Chains A and B, each alone.
Chain A
Amino acid sequence: MSEEPAFRVRDLAVSYGSQVALKDVTLDIEPRKIIAIIGPSGCGKSTLIRCFNRMNDLIPGTRVQGQVLYHGQDIYANDVDPVTVRRNVGMVFQRPNPFPKSIKENVAYGARINGYKGNIDELVERSLRGAALWDEVKDNLNRSALALSGGQQQRLCIARAIAVQPDTILMDEPASALDPVATSKIEDLMQELKERYTIIIVTHNMQQAARVSDKAAFLYTEVNEAGTARWGVLVEYDDTSRIFTNPRDKRTDDYISGRFG
């Protein structure tokens, strides 16, 4: 491998209260690649992606075991402040969630709370250009963000995330609430973004995973013999082309062919 991985995940397990939701996840994530997390509903995709920026901490009763190394540093170590982690690892959610403020203030919010010293107007323009939204909103920067279409709102959320200047962007089903045109804009945008950012995307759309990602992680739900407990495991993690054409594991094969068939 040419470069240090952006993330190394080692024996990761997550439980909500006494329920184990995910276990035995070990994988490396190379920088400036798009990594897709795929798998059936409830298998722990969101749980996994929330481990990369410690959003799980906000759910009471969540316990994370194992290691998530970010550029070599364990983000779950005692002396690490989750706020710092989130300033380096941005996130875009399933439903667009702009603040009820102007377009400009949405983009500037993260930079402001992070004490950004540079020119805010320039940063706003740069971020909106980076999210392929500038041309559509440049004359209306003071309009409410809530007046934008769903697809525009989602790109605004991407602009808002990159304005904080992270090096990784997490996306949990970023296009599942959007129409096909808006979806394809987001997918095009991801290709541009990966020149500068590491992107981890959860998607349940297999075609989308095949189109956009360089590597794919397939999660699947395991059930104990009594059928009383279920948890997600990482079944296979490989180049996307390999996962979709020649998977090693039968469960991957079944799932992929079922979804494409």
Chain B
Amino acid sequence: MTNAPTDTVASPLVPRKGFSRMADPVFAALTGAAGILVLIILGYMVVVTTLTAWPAMQSQGWSFIFSTTWDPSRGQYGILAFVYGTVLTSLIALVIAVPFSLGIALFLTEIAPGWIRGPVAYMVDLLAAVPSVVYGLWGVFVLLPGLLQPLAVWLSRTLGWIPIFAGPGSGLSFFGAGVVLAIMIIPIISSLSREVLRAVPSDEKNAAFALGATRWEMITGAVLPRAKAGIIGAVMLGLGRALGETIAVALLVGSREQITASILKPGYTMASIIANQFTEATGDHIRALVGVGVVLFIITIVVNVAARALVWRMVEA
């Protein structure tokens, strides 16, 4: 049409002006900068802490890692017992938390009637918001006398012939700390697993049902294989939280630097030694404590990278 109001219709090839045209590059630059900033901060943390700790690590040599003797008064700093305690309490926490969390997640996605799901899920999520010091105090004042101590004594009496339950059993132990850690990470693992399970396509569930699967067979045959990678990711995030948890563990682990096969004996963890001694430490002692932090950092990074690699491998397969 010749009489079309051409002056009000922009030609399709003339670039738009103003903010909306600039938005994409600005957005890209901002997000890129934020990403790089995170990397810089992370790198800076690693460098500064390592430099601070280095003199102590160097003077101890390999015994910094491989010795269990931690005696600031004689200038001996061996952290193996703390590494052991951190790994052991976290493993105990996982052994307890994973089945519970999966049970909760499966119940809430596949079994519970609709009206129960929302409220229960909400309550479980709320547990994740409880500060860890509250878990620790609750553990000490309620769980320890009411459950952990009697349970530890009972375990050492009945199963004491198995080295990991050798007595005398105490609630202030790897075991006690592990139980409280488990309670702390159940909400994380179960709510992440729930999201993963919810994402399993209902097509596949229906396929299993239509082949004559019971609900249980549908879950093991169709839901879990599909959700495996995500569940492992959720578990690893829980593990990351357990490895770094400080206050609750410091209150319950018993604070004795020793390596024992029995989980019912008191121990120590990396985060709790830092928390307990940092304020009163000076000189090499402080440097050694920072060194403990560096090693803990490395362990959590290794766990995270391993988790990611595992999840990727499974997603590929």
Contacts and interface: CB of A to CB of B under 8 A. Distances in A.
B206 A86 contact: no
A113 B209 contact: no
Interface stretch (A72-80, A93-101, A128-136, A210-218): A93-101
Contacts of A93: 203, 206-207, 210
A164 B208 CA distance: 12
B99 interface: no
A10 to B, nearest CB: 24
A130 to B, nearest CB: 15
B212 A99 contact: no
Contacts of B212: 83-84, 86-87, 110, 113-114, 164
Contact of B210 (A53, A60, A114): A53
Interface string B201-245: 101101111111110010001100110000000000000000000
Contact of B211 (A60, A90, A95, A100): A90
Contacts of B211: 86-87, 90, 109-110, 113, 160-161, 164
Nearest to A54: B209
A55 B209 contact: yes
Contacts, number: 63
Given A90-B210, A93-B206, A164-B211, A100 B114 contact: no
A124 interface: no
Interface residues of A, number: 25
Contact of B203 (A58, A90, A95, A113): A95
A55 B217 contact: no
Contacts of B208: 99, 109
B113 interface: yes
A99 B210 contact: no
A170 to B, nearest CB: 8
Main SS at interface, chain B: helix
Contacts of A83: 212-214
A113 B212 CA distance: 8
A113 B217 contact: yes
A239 B83 CA distance: 78
Contacts of A164: 211-212
Contacts of A98: 207
Contacts of B203: 93, 95, 97
Contact of B225 (A53, A60, A99): A99
Given A55-B210, A58-B209, A97 B201 contact: yes
A91 interface: yes
18 contacts: A55-B209, A83-B212, A83-B214, A86-B210, A86-B212, A90-B211, A93-B206, A97-B206, A98-B207, A99-B207, A99-B226, A100-B204, A100-B226, A110-B211, A110-B212, A113-B217, A114-B212, A164-B212
Given A97-B203, A164-B211, 10 more contacts: A87-B212, A93-B207, A95-B203, A97-B207, A100-B225, A109-B211, A109-B221, A113-B213, A114-B212, A160-B207
Interface of B: 113-114, 201, 203-204, 206-214, 217, 221-222, 225-226
Query: What 6 A-B pairs have minimum CB-CB distances, sorted nearest first?
Result: A87-B212, A110-B211, A97-B203, A91-B210, A86-B212, A97-B207
